[in-house]
Amino acid sequence: MFAYCNFCEKAHNPWKIDKDKVTYFVTDKWDGSSRPPYSELNISMNVGDCVDDVLYNRLLVARHSGIPMNRFVFASQVHGDHIEIIDEDRLNKNSYSVIKASDGLITAQKELALVVMAADCVPVLLYDEEKEVIGAFHAGWRGLTQNIITKGVQMMNDHFDCNSNNIKAFIGPSIGQCCYEIKNKVIEAVKTSVPHYEQALKNTDNKVFLDLKKAVELQLIDANVERQKIIRSKYCTQCYSDTFYSYRAHSETGRFCASIALKG
């Protein structure tokens, strides 16, 4: 169920963070109730899957995380750059909450799980241990080139007095440079929005391939997040489509999720 987490017995904790302060996880695609082509642990309500199956999957993830379902907040995701700050007033007390037209969520509330979903795009989790502020962001090439990551760091600094130097970043599984060929429109957008973009582009046989995770890292560094505090997943979702959902591998498919929560 969990490809990355820091609350299970065999914890994968690359951040080396205090488990009493924060918990995070990235789901894989197994051990849920969704049927093909969404099998099995699809978290998205917007891909054509049975609503009851997705609800069961969300409840299952919540139960295993130890965080109540009514403390889960999902970004609805429109491949944009809109980010919402979440407080108690935004919560649906009877069920999980969905924040419309958003691709980024930030909070300082305790025991509140921020959730973004992906199937090749990059899930990014941010954590300021000193100020106890977290963020979850969804960045495909559109969100990346609209600078959602840079804006997220800036919002944490502006609204919660965070310092970029104290922020830790986890860049989750996404399509890798090995599989992500891009065309002129995307190439030009990357060149205008990603500092040192040449580090994220590769030319092979007159084709251009983008390293999305590297591009996110470059934007984080440009926002003064320290390189040594950035962890990048090694997984390409298309290469590992048996573990993670991948739109490019299977166009009709589900979504895995990445989540982070401050402990109470």
How large is the average pLDDT for residues 195-221? 97
Mean pLDDT of 145-155: 98
Where are the domains positioned within the chain? 2-175+213-262
CATH superfamily entry for domain 2-175+213-262 = CNF1/YfiH-like putative cysteine hydrolases (3.60.140.10)
Q: How many CB atoms lie within 10 A of CB 69?
A: 18
Q: Specify the pTM.
A: 0.95
- Residue 34 CB burial class (10 angstroms; 0-12, 13-18, ≥19): buried
- Give the residue-averaged pLDDT of 213-220: 98
Percent of the chain with pLDDT over 70: 96
Please determine, for residue 248, whether its predicted confidence score (pLDDT) is greater than 70: yes
Average pLDDT of the segment spanning 224-249: 96
- The torsion angle over the Cα atoms of residues 218, 237, 207 and 227, rounded to 10 degrees, is 10
**pLDDT given for residue 5 in this prediction:** 75
Q: Are 7 and 23 in contact (CB under 8 A)?
A: yes
Whether residue 9 is predicted with pLDDT greater than 50 in this model: the reply is: no
